[in-house]
Amino acid sequence: MAQASKVSLATIKRLEPLSGPIIANAVTIDALRRALEAAGIEFIPANGGGAGVRFHKPAASD
């Protein structure tokens, strides 16, 4: 994750044990999100069932 996101390993280790929303600067959160999305993770908005994540399902043309 550190390599894919270019976020320091120390920062990731600091964030991993925390529960709840990530408390970090916007640049760090964006870098982590982009790395997860590049790995096939899709973020799901809170649409009545709460926010979440799932593996991205490629479209039929992908």
pLDDT at 62 over 60: no
Confidence (pLDDT) at 55: 76
Confidence (pLDDT) at 31: 97
Is residue 53 helix, strand or coil? strand
Higher pLDDT, 18 or 58: 18
- Please state the pTM of the whole predicted model: 0.76
DSSP 52: E
pLDDT tens figures, 1-57: 999 999 999 999 999 998 888 889 999 999 999 999 999 988 888 776 777 777 777
